[in-house]
Amino acid sequence: MAQTEAQQASTTDVSDSKPSEPAAAPKVDISGDGGVLKQVLREGSGECPPSGSKVRVHYVGRLLDGTKFDSSRDRDEEFEFDLGKGRVIKGWDLGVGKMEEGELAILTCRSDYAYGEAGSPPTTPPGATLEFEVELIDFSETSKDDEDL
C-alpha cells in the first residue's frame, strides 16, 4: 500500500535527527547546607588548590534574574586572590577550593555565602543569591615564608 506525501513527511528518519545535547551536569551542594551549589560546565585536570594558594580566575557574576553585575572577562583582567584567607566571599573560598585547574563551573551562592543581608550596593541587592561562572586558570602554593610577609 502506497503512502501519501503527508504520511511520508510525518515519518521520522532517525538518521536525520540531531544528536541530543548532553545533559547538563547536576548542581552539587558543596557546603553541606545548600548554601553553595557547584555545576561543572567544563572539567579541569589535576588537583584542587589548597587553602593559602594564590589562585587566578576569570568570572562573570549574575543575579538570579540573569542581570550581570561584575565580570573580569569584560575587563579582560584575570582576578587573583589568596584562597581561604577571607579576602573574597565565603562561597568563593569554598567553591574555588573545590575546583581543578582549567575547570569552568557555576557557583550559586546563597546570600550568607555572598554579601549577606547588606548586599553590595548598588550592584547586588540585600539578601541576594548570586551565580558566578568561574574558571580556575591556575594556582600556586605559597610557602610559609610568603605567608609571614
Which is the catalytic residue, given 59, 79, 113, 139?
59
Q: Is the peptide bond preceding residue 49 cis, with omega within 30 degrees of 0? A: no
Which is the catalytic residue, given 79, 93, 113, 115?
115
Which is the catalytic residue, given 30, 79, 89, 113?
89
Q: How many CA atoms lie within 13 A of 84 on its CB side?
A: 13
Which is the catalytic residue, given 69, 81, 82, 137?
69
Indicate if 132 belongs to the active site: yes
Contacts of 64 (CB under 8 A, 6+ apart): 128, 129, 130, 131
Q: Outline where DSSP puts E strands in the chain.
A: 28-29, 36-42, 54-63, 68-71, 79-82, 104-109, 130-140
Indicate if 70 belongs to the active site: yes
Indicate if 16 belongs to the active site: no
Indicate if 137 belongs to the active site: no
User: Per this entry, what is the length of the chain?
Assistant: 149
Question: For residue 35, what is its C-alpha cell?
Answer: 548554601
Indicate if 79 belongs to the active site: no
Which is the catalytic residue, given 70, 82, 112, 138?
70
Question: For residue 128, what is its C-alpha cell?
Answer: 541576594
Residues marked as catalytic: 59, 69-70, 89, 115, 132
